[in-house]
């Protein structure tokens, strides 16, 4: 990694990159968003198609509770991976289990789980703050480049490669199941297995992204790229690539904004995402009017 940091620093010294890239923590943040954008942008359109936008909020909230559980079990503050990943996976799988056996609307069930994890998290947070300053946990809540470590980068890369491989193998099945579960059954797919698989992939993608985007803002990077892409795309493949492009532009621009104005990375990325959505909304409207004329 030191060689890569040195290369980025040389580019910064040559004026080809902003001066801040001479610092290793900025270089780590840059590499993180290069991995993060295709990861979350790539699943964004499936999340929207399967109506799981609210689900991503619940998982982000559950991650905070998982963090407090990990800290209480003795995990280090900067590497409470067991608590975060373990608890969010447990919550995600249990949500799907209950959803498939209940007559209640999915958003109602997700709201119940959000209330449960929020209440549990608040109670446990009181115990955690006896050992840690609450400001030390803000990076998980809102995202921060300053806290991204090489271990986080490796975890993010491994998660992205694993999720990418699973999506590549099951992409067509997941798309058909998202759009028409009866058609997926006719083609021999198992909707239950597809739902569990996709929920697992989304949960892992969210949890490995928390250090950069933050638990309270991760929903934006899971949902908004697809919303913006929908304004421009004319095919399923175009929908995918526009989602990835939107996420990548937002992440890189948000990184620059956070460095220039010293604001949280997650918040900056979300603001850029919102701006891109309205730009694409306007562009889509103009294109539609031109097509009618």
Q: Distance between CA atoms of 137 and 63, rounded to whole angstroms?
A: 12
Q: Which domain holds residue 181?
A: 2-292
**Residue 107: what pLDDT?**
83
Angle between helices 24-49 and 191-208 (to 10 degrees): 160
Give the per-residue pLDDT at 53.
82
pLDDT in tens, 38-83: 999 999 989 988 888 888 888 888 988 888 888 888 888 777 788 8
End-to-end CA distance of the chain: 55
Measured CA to CA, the distance from residue 8 to residue 65 in angstroms comes to 36
Q: How many structural domains are present in the chain? A: 1
Q: Count Cβ neighbours within 10 Å for each residue of 259-280 and write b for 16 or more, e otherwise.
A: beeeebbbbbbbbbbeebbeeb
How far apart CA 257 and CA 36 sit, in angstroms, is 17
pLDDT in tens, 189-206: 888 888 999 999 999 998
Conformational region of residue 260, where left means phi above 0, alpha means psi within -120 to 50, and beta covers everything else: alpha
- Residue 90 has a pLDDT of 94
Band of pLDDT at residue 95, cut at 50, 70 and 90: very high
CATH of the domain at 177: 1.10.3470.10
CA distance 163 to 41: 12
* Single pTM value for the model: 0.87
What's the 3-state SS for 191-226?
Answer: HHHHHHHHHHHHHHHHHHCHHHHCCCCHHHHHHHHH
> What is the per-residue pLDDT for 139?
65
Could you report the per-residue pLDDT of 242-283, keeping only the tens digit for each?
Answer: 999 999 999 889 888 888 888 877 888 889 999 999 999 999
Mean pLDDT on 278-292:
86
Contacts of 210 (CB under 8 A, 6+ apart): 60, 63, 84, 140, 143, 218
Mean pLDDT of 87-115: 90
Query: Is-contact 202 43, C-beta < 8 A?
Result: yes
Q: What digits encode the pLDDT tens for the residues 152-178?
A: 888 899 999 999 999 989 888 888 888
**Are residues 222 and 202 in contact, defined by beta-carbon separation less than 8 angstroms?**
yes
Say which residues have a Cβ less than 8 Å from residue 248's Cβ, sequence separation at least 6.
Answer: 34, 37, 38, 41
- Give residue 205's pLDDT: 92
Query: What is the per-residue pLDDT for 259?
Result: 80
pLDDT in tens, 205-249: 988 888 777 777 788 889 999 999 999 988 888 899 999 999 999
């Amino acid at each position: 990694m030191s060689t890569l940091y040195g290369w980025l620093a040389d580019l910064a010294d040559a004026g080809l990159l902003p001066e801040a890239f001479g610092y290793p923590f900025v270089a780590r943040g840059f590499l993180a968003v290069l991995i993060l954008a295709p990861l979350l942008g790539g699943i964004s359109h499936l999340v929207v198609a399967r109506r799981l936008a609210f689900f991503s909020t619940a998982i982000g909230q559950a991650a905070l509770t998982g963090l407090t559980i990990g800290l209480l079990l003795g995990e280090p503050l900067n590497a409470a991976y067991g608590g975060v990943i373990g608890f969010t996976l447990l919550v995600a799988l249990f949500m799907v289990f209950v959803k498939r056996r209940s007559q209640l609307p999915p958003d109602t069930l997700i709201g119940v789980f959000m209330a449960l994890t929020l209440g549990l998290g608040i109670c446990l947070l009181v115990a955690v703050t006896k050992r840690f300053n609450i400001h030390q946990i803000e990076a998980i809540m809102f995202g921060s480049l300053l806290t991204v470590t090489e271990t986080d980068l490796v975890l993010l890369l491994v998660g992205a490669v694993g999720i990418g491989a699973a999506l590549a193998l099951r992409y067509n099945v997941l798309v058909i199941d998202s759009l028409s579960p009866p058609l997926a059954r006719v083609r021999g797919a198992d909707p239950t297995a597809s739902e569990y698989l996709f929920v697992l992939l989304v949960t892992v993608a969210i949890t490995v992204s928390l250090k950069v985007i933050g638990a309270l803002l991760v929903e934006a990077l899971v949902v908004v790229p697809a919303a913006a892409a929908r304004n421009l795309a004319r095919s399923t493949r175009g929908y995918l690539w526009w989602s990835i492009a939107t996420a990548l532009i937002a992440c890189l621009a948000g990184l620059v904004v956070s460095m220039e104005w010293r604001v949280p990375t997650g918040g900056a990325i979300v603001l850029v995402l919102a701006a891109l959505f309205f730009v694409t909304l306007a562009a889509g409207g103009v294109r539609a009017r031109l097509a009618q004329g």
